[in-house]
Structure 1
Amino acid sequence: MGPVEEIKLEPIGIVHSSVRERKDMPLQGVEAEIEVFREYEEGLMGIEENSHLFVVCWLDKAERDTLQVTPRKYSVDLPKRGVFAIRTPVRPNPVSITTARLIQVRGRLLTVSHLDAINGTPVIDLKPYEPGWDCVFSAARRDRYQSIKKMMPAEYRDDLIRQAVNYHGEECQGLAMAVRMAAFATLTLKKDLRNSSVCILIGKNACISDSLIGITGARLGNKRLYYNLNPKLRESDSYSIYDSEKTIVFRIRKFMKDYKGIMECDIKDIFDIEVI
C-alpha cells in the first residue's frame, strides 16, 4: 500500500480560553470551555458519565518546520531535544492530546480543567479517559531534575499537585503536606523523585501516603515503596524519602487544617526534618 497523499481533518469544536497567547499558557493549563459545533452535538450523548476526557486539538498557530527544540517553558539553557521526545507544540503535525477533567456539560458547551490550548484552537476530537486502559502507573520517563531546577517554585508545586491529585483524586491537607515533602526532597536529593533510585517509607496518614505514591511512582512491585511497620516508630507519624546516599525523615509536628496555610508556611512549622 502506497503512502496516503492527503489527510483531511474537520474541527468538531473550538476552545474558549482566557489565555490568548502560547507564551502565556501555564505549564498545567487552565480551566476553559470547549464549544462543540452543532452538527456534532449528537456525538456528546453520554459524555457526562466520564470524569476525564482526552481533548485532541489542532495547534493551528504552531511551527511545523522544526524537528529539534529547546523546552523554553523551563529555560533556554536546556539542551535541544527531538520534538517526538518532548511535549512541545512545535511538530510536523501539530496535534495536541490533553487529559482534562470534565467539570460541567451544558448542551454543546463542556467546561474542563488543565486544558493547555489557547483561545480559538480547533478541537478535532474528544475521547473518554479509561482508567483501566489509559493509566500506566508503571511508565518510566527521563530524569527531569535539570528541567525542574529551571522551574519557578510555584510552577513545580503545581506540577507536584497535579501528579498527586491524579493518583489521590482530590486536593486536601494531606496532599498539601506530601507536596511540601516532595519539593524539599527534590532539592535535597537533587533528583526527579520518579528516578528509580528514589524510595519512600510511608506513615499513617492515607492522604499523605497516596500523594507521595502518586508523585514518586513508588510501588511494592518496583521495590521503591515501604511501610512503616515498627510500632515504636508509628507512635509519631513519620515519612521518609531516600536514595542510596541520603535519607530525609519528615516527622509531623503539626497537622494544619488550612490547605493554603500548609502550602505557604515555613516547612519547619509542620515537620521536624532530619537528613541522614
Structure 2
Amino acid sequence: MIRLTRIGTVNSDFTEQADPFVMRRHESRITVDEKYREGLFRLEDSAYVMVVFGFHQADGFDLKGPIYSGEIKGVFASRSPRRPSPLGVSTVRLLSMADGVLAVRGLDALDGSPVFDIKPHAPVFDSGAEGWNGTADAGALDTGPETHPAYADPRFKMLRLVQSRDLAGCLLAAGTLHGHYCPGLALGVYASVAAMNRSRESFSDGLENLLAIVEVNSCFADGVQAVTGCTLGNNSLVYRDLGKTAFTLLRRGSPRGIRVSVKTDFGALLNETYPEFSTLFEKVIKKRAGSTEDMTAFKVKGREASFGLLSLPAERLFDIREVETEPPPFAPIVESLVCARCGEQVMKTKSVTAGADTLCRACAGAAVPCVTGAGIG
C-alpha cells in the first residue's frame, strides 16, 4: 500500500476554485514542515520546480466531464480536480526560498492544499518531445512528427499563451510572422487576446468557425492573424477597407461578436511615452529616409515600445464592446479551368470567356483588384 506523506501546505489568495489561468498568474507560497526542510537543500539551483499537491476540496470523481474549453473528455485526458486519486501536479517558477517557505508563480492550487512532494523540473525528462520552451523541430523528433503536440493541434502553444493571457509570449510568437516588433503589432496581439478571453468559444480550428474582420491592412492585422489563427489562407480573415485600427471577432452561429478598436488618443499616448520611437518612425518609415543606424535604432525603440505597451491596462488602449454582425458565407469550392493562353489553372469564378476560349483575367487584360499597402485597389 502506497502512503502519501504531507510535507507542507499551500498559501494562496484563492480559497475556492477559479479560472486556472488566472490562478497561475498569482504568486503563491508553499510552507514546508520543519522536519522536511533539510530536503530543500540546493532546490534554489532550479528555476522551475514541480509540485505534487492534493485537491482537498474535491468531492468524488467524474470519469467524463467538460474541460476548460467546454469540450467533453475523460478524466485522464483532462486536468479536472475531480479524480479517483485527487492529486494535482504543477510546474511552477521558483521566485525565492527562505526558512522553508517557497514563493512560486504558476501554481493552481487552493489555499490550504496539502503538498506531498516537490522536485526540480528537468526538461530532458519532464517536457517530452517539445522541451521546456514548448518548441521543437518536428523533423528532429526521433519518434516522428506525430508525437509532437502540434501534430494534433497546430495552435496548442498559442492557445496556452492566450488562455494564460501571456501577452509577451503572444507578441514573441507574432514577431516570427511579422518580422519585427512595433506598436501596431503589439496592439493587434493585445486586442486579440482581450477579445478571445471574452469567450471560451473564441478559439479557431482553422476551418472558418471563427472569423476575424479586420478594418486596416497594417501591422495591427498581423497581430490579429498570429493570435486568433484567422488568416487569409484559411478563409477566416475578412478585410474591410475602412482604414480603422479595429477588428471584430465572431463565431459562426452567433449573432454577436466582440469589436475592439484602438482609442483615438493612442497616437498622443505613444508620442508622449515613447518619443524616440515616434521620431524615428517619422524619419525611417514615413519619410523613407534615415541611415542604417537609424533603421537599427528604430527596431530597438520599436521593440521597447511594443513590449512596454503590454503593461498598460486594456481599457487604456481599447474600446471593447459587443456588436451585432452577419458573418459572410463559407468560402465556395469551385471548379478549376485551364487558361487557353498561359496554360495555368484558374478558378472558374475568376475566369473570363473570350469567344470560345477561357482565359484568366491577366491574359484577358481584365481589371484585377488587389490588396496593397494603400488598401483594395
TM-score range, shorter chain: 0.5 to 0.7
State the Cα distance separating 1:25 from its structure 2 match.
5.5
Q: Quick one: distance in 2 between partners of 1:114 and 1:46?
A: 21
Q: Quick one: distance in 1 between partners of 2:196 and 2:231?
A: 9
- In the alignment, which residue of structure 1 is the partner of 2:101? 109
Could you list the per-position Cα deviations for residues 135-177 of structure 1 after superposition, in whole angstroms to 9, with x for gaps in the alignment? 25342466999xx9xxxxxxx9662317828x88xxx997954
Indicate if the aligned counterparts of 1:68 and 1:81 stay in contact, CA closer than 8 A: yes
Q: Quick one: distance in 1 between partners of 2:318 and 2:73?
A: 37
- In the alignment, which residue of structure 2 is the partner of 1:139? 149
Label 1:61 to 1:107 Cα distance change in 2 as closer, same or farther (>3 A): same
Indicate if the aligned counterparts of 1:69 and 1:81 stay in contact, CA closer than 8 A: yes
State the Cα distance separating 1:112 from its structure 2 match.
0.7
Label 1:173 to 1:49 Cα distance change in 2 as closer, same or farther (>3 A): farther
- In the alignment, which residue of structure 2 is the partner of 1:7? 2
Letter in 1 for 2:75: V
Equivalent positions of 1:42-61 (< 5 A) are 42-61=38-57
Which gives a bigger RCO, structure 1 or 2 (Cα 8 Å, sep 6+)?
1
Q: Quick one: distance in 2 between partners of 1:66 and 1:139?
A: 25
* Alignment partner of 1:180 out of 180, 190, 203: 190
Label 1:143 to 1:84 Cα distance change in 2 as closer, same or farther (>3 A): farther
- In the alignment, which residue of structure 2 is the partner of 1:266? 318
Q: Quick one: distance in 2 between partners of 1:16 and 1:39?
A: 19
Q: Quick one: distance in 2 between partners of 1:118 and 1:98?
A: 12
* Alignment partner of 2:90 out of 87, 98, 103: 98
Q: Where does the alignment leave 5 or more consecutive residues of structure 1 unmatched? A: 1-5, 149-155, 199-204, 219-239
Structure label with greater radius of gyration: 2
- In the alignment, which residue of structure 1 is the partner of 2:203? 192
* Alignment partner of 1:89 out of 75, 81, 87: 81
Indicate if the aligned counterparts of 1:31 and 1:113 stay in contact, CA closer than 8 A: yes
Q: Quick one: distance in 2 between partners of 1:89 and 1:59?
A: 6
Q: How much is the aligned-residue C-alpha RMSD, in angstroms?
A: 4.7
**Percent of paired sites with the same residue:** 25
Q: Quick one: distance in 2 between partners of 1:173 and 1:20?
A: 40
- In the alignment, which residue of structure 1 is the partner of 2:169? 164
Indicate if the aligned counterparts of 1:185 and 1:241 stay in contact, CA closer than 8 A: no
After TM superposition, the structure 1 stretch with the greater mean CA deviation from structure 2, 36-45 or 129-138, is 129-138
Q: Does residue 1:62 correspond to 2:113, yes or no?
A: no
Label 1:177 to 1:139 Cα distance change in 2 as closer, same or farther (>3 A): farther
What SS does structure 1 have at the residue aligned with 2:312? Answer: helix
Letter in 2 for 1:159: S
Q: Quick one: distance in 1 between partners of 2:54 and 2:71?
A: 27
State the Cα distance separating 1:49 from its structure 2 match.
1.8
Could you list the per-position Cα deviations for residues 177-212 of structure 1 after superposition, in whole angstroms to 9, with x for gaps in the alignment? 46426437969xx873686999xxxxxx9xx99xx9
Number of residue pairs aligned between Structure 1 and Structure 2:
214
TM-score by length of 2: 0.44
Label 1:173 to 1:263 Cα distance change in 2 as closer, same or farther (>3 A): farther
Q: Quick one: distance in 2 between partners of 1:34 and 1:111?
A: 7
- In the alignment, which residue of structure 1 is the partner of 2:281? none
TM-score by length of 1: 0.58
Indicate if the aligned counterparts of 1:180 and 1:267 stay in contact, CA closer than 8 A: no
Q: Where does the alignment leave 5 or more consecutive residues of structure 2 unmatched? A: 136-147, 174-180, 211-218, 240-244, 247-266, 271-304, 321-372
Indicate if the aligned counterparts of 1:63 and 1:91 stay in contact, CA closer than 8 A: no
Indicate if the aligned counterparts of 2:95 and 2:103 stay in contact, CA closer than 8 A: yes
Indicate if the aligned counterparts of 2:10 and 2:114 stay in contact, CA closer than 8 A: yes
Could you list the per-position Cα deviations for residues 202-241 of structure 1 after superposition, in whole angstroms to 9, with x for gaps in the alignment? xxx9xx99xx98x79x9xxxxxxxxxxxxxxxxxxxxx95
Q: Quick one: distance in 1 between partners of 2:42 and 2:163?
A: 31
State the Cα distance separating 1:90 from its structure 2 match.
0.6
Label 1:185 to 1:59 Cα distance change in 2 as closer, same or farther (>3 A): closer
Letter in 2 for 1:53: V
Letter in 2 for 1:27: F
